[in-house]
Amino acid sequence: MNLSLGQTVPLGLTAPAAGWTIPLNRLENFNMEILLANPRGFCAGVNRAIQIVDRALELFGAPIYVRHEVVHNRHVVEDLRARGAVFVEELDEVPDAATVIFSAHGVPIAVRQHAAARGLSVFDATCPLVTKVHMEVKKYSRDGMEMVLIGHAGHPEVEGTMGQVEEGMMYLVSNVTDVASLTPRNPEKLAYITQTTLSMDDTAEVIQALRARFPHIQGPKKDDICYATQNRQDAVKTLAPEVDILLVVGAPNSSNSSRLAELGGRLDTPTHLIEDSSQLRREWFADVGKIGISAGASAPESLVKGIIDQLQEWGATAPQETAGVEEKVIFSLPLALVQAQSRRQDAGQVTGDSA
């Protein structure tokens, strides 16, 4: 079907997403449709973490040190680095009297103690939903319980959560096989928690295996997997069966992005995890009628736009937004950062009045 500029979209079709137009030189080449998953991209925790680094740079100037990548996205990190953020893996790399920000993934207690002992100025960008898991760990620890963490070894969130208790108090499992070999000291006093960015389906299987093997095991009252992870996975479950190919925008070291790509593959939809438009390959789209696009919680919408622009150069139509959950969650910034900004504004007002 060919449309002219300004023609009304016929009843039963989805209108192009707001802000998108059909390139003039592609009006006669409607070979591919683009369907956009909703929700996609930045979550409230990622927005908060980036805002914390932004605000710290604005208030205190460069350099601002950040322990670990504040979020797992190369483009976000490079943008912040260009503005004066310095990313380090350990606090030993941070000079005395410097300002340091903890990443959205959270940190072990030992890192906080190290920062305090050195007198570093700290702003914590840990996602509040990760902090919720840390609070659960502290409660179980006070109750004298051992814990099982469902998560992926080596991920900074897992390292941060396991670092909330003494070594040996928490066991890490990634799958049902790990559960079968688990040997806690007291199966009667056992609790589980989870990484926030896991596959919901995989995690449900592991929890089921834990409950079958350890009938008295306790768990959180509310699922530890965050709302944004759940919503994005649900959106992919809806979208993937409707398209011929699925593109997931995100970094390979992003847990939630990787889980979206894995989910697309499980639904038998050819799926590619890509960081930006430079990784697109034209041969992927031979005989493709519908392209689905989702984005991990740490992927900015600008990367999605760049991919759409390239696909339209290859003949795709204007993208269509699919129905989905509207996310209204907003996390507040650290009080110390808000107070620092308020003091600066007050000082500026006094200076202005004096002039």
Q: Is 255 annotated as a binding residue?
A: yes
> Was 105 annotated as part of a binding site?
yes
β-partners of residue 32 are 316
Q: Buried (b) or exposed (e) across 24-41, using 16+ Cβ within 10 A?
A: eebeeeeebbbbbbbbbb
DSSP 3-state of 206 = helix
Q: Catalytic pick from 157, 242, 262, 301?
A: 157
Query: Letter for the amino acid at 342?
Result: S
Distance in angstroms (rounded) separating the CA atoms of residues 15 and 30 = 15
16: β partners: 320
Please give the span between the terminal C-alpha atoms of the chain, in angstroms, as a whole number. 66
- Is 238 annotated as belonging to a binding site? no
List CB contacts of 167: < 8 A, sequence separation 6 or more. none
Enter the tokens of residue 152: 């992926």
Please name the residue that has the structure tokens 């929700």. 39
Lookup: tokens for 340: 């620092």
**Residue 157 is a catalytic residue:** yes
Query: Length of the chain, please?
Result: 355
72 belongs to an annotated ligand binding site? yes
Tell me the H-state helices in 166-267.
176-180, 200-213, 227-239, 255-266
Measured between alpha carbons, how far is 231 from 238 in angstroms, rounded to an integer? 11
Would you say the C-alpha torsion 248, 229, 18, 51 has a positive or negative sign?
negative
Question: Containing H/E element for 33?
Answer: strand 33-36
Q: Give the residue among 101, 138, 139, 142 at the shortest CA–CA distance from 120.
A: 101
Is 196 annotated to bind ligand? yes
DSSP, collapsed to helix, strand or coil, labels residue 316 as: strand
Is residue 181 part of an annotated ligand binding site? no
Question: Tokens standing for 187?
Answer: 């199966």
Asked if residues 161 and 195 have their Cβ atoms less than 8 Å apart, the reply is yes
Using CA atoms, how far apart are residues 269 and 214, in angstroms rounded to an integer?
A: 36
> Is 254 annotated among the ligand-binding residues?
yes
Residues catalogued as catalytic: 157
Known binding residues for dimethylallyl diphosphate are 72, 105, 155, 254-256, 298
Residue ranges for the known binding site for [4Fe-4S] cluster are: 43, 127, 226
Specify binding-site residues for isopentenyl diphosphate: 72, 105, 155, 254-256, 298
Pick out the residues of the known binding site.
43, 72, 105, 127, 155, 196, 226, 254-256, 298
